[in-house]
Amino acid sequence: MIELYHSTHSTCSQKVRLCLAEKGIAWKGHHLNLRAFDQLKPEFLAINAAGMVPVLVDGDFRLAESRIINEYLEEAYPQVRLAPADPQSRARMRLWTKYSDDVATDAVKLPSFVKNIQPELQRMAPEQVRAMVAKIPDAKVRERWTNAVTRGISAADLQPSIDKLGVMVDRMDRSLSQGPWLAGDEYSLADIDIAPFVHRLIRCELFHLVEAHPRVADWYARISSRAAYAKAIPPAGSEGVQPAVV
Ligand SMILES: N[C@@H](CCC(=O)N[C@@H](CS)C(=O)NCC(=O)O)C(=O)O
């Protein structure tokens, strides 16, 4: 059976859980509480040296990186197809999955960090935080945490991320003027890979970006009412709740 190292509120984990749910694939979860910094424990670093979720395990095959995991699932488990048949729509889908990976993932990091991680760090003793920060393998993540701890995160620090998220929504609006889903006529990995980042805008108090674009708001209403979505993505507002096991 497929196993997934993941975290309930991690956007990249949500991408993979949504793909699994749409395909009706059963899986066993290993839940990491990112607020308790489970991702920095030696037992998880032995599974993914980058200290990041998600990680999929399929038999003796272990794979990190949410976009690549979803592509793998699409190819290895084609019974429910999540990639359009025609090459042009597939290319449009890949532009979106690449954008999710290259831009959206990074753009939500700082606004999410302010809401979800910074309050936890502020509750810890400074020396405990410094010891934790020193263990972070990724230099960019380490720098973000160091800044948060040493000088805080200002509105000016957040603005570039907010601008990028605004551009993401504008870009969605343009795609949705061509068809009901991001890659055209068919629901696909394009929608799946972007959905968690749109959902995260609610937590980051940036959902007005969506509400300003009726086509994007309509897309969000359609995707969030799918049965798979309810299985994969916890409701906005539940971010403080960390289930022991999922
Ligand atoms: N490019 C990776 C990014 C994974 C990633 O950023 N994971 C976040 C959760 S969404 C994480 O594990 N963060 C742990 C940390 O920042 O310490 C992917 O798409 O899987």
pLDDT tens for the 246 residues of the chain, in order: 999 999 999 999 999 999 999 999 999 999 999 888 899 999 999 999 999 999 999 999 999 999 999 999 999 999 999 999 999 999 999 999 999 999 999 999 999 988 888 887 888 888 888 888 888 888 888 888 888 778 888 899 999 999 999 999 999 999 999 999 999 999 999 999 999 999 999 999 999 999 999 999 999 999 999 999 999 999 887 776 554 333
Question: Which overall architecture, per CATH, does domain 2-76 show?
Answer: 3-Layer(aba) Sandwich (3.40)
Would you say the CB of residue 65 lies under 6 angstroms from ligand 1? yes
What is the CATH topology of the domain spanning 87-227? Answer: Glutathione S-transferase Yfyf (Class Pi); Chain A, domain 2 (1.20.1050)
β-sheet with 55-58: strand ranges across: 27-31, 2-6, 55-58, 61-64
Q: Which atom of ligand 1 is nearest to the CA of 69?
A: 20
Q: How do 61-64 and 27-31 pair as beta strands?
A: unpaired
Q: Which residue has its alpha carbon closest to ligand 1 atom 18? A: 65
Q: Which residue has its alpha carbon closest to ligand 1 atom 10? A: 10
Using a 10 angstrom Cβ sphere, with 0-12 exposed, 13-18 middle and 19 or more buried, the burial of residue 15 is buried
CA 141 to ligand 1 center in whole angstroms: 9
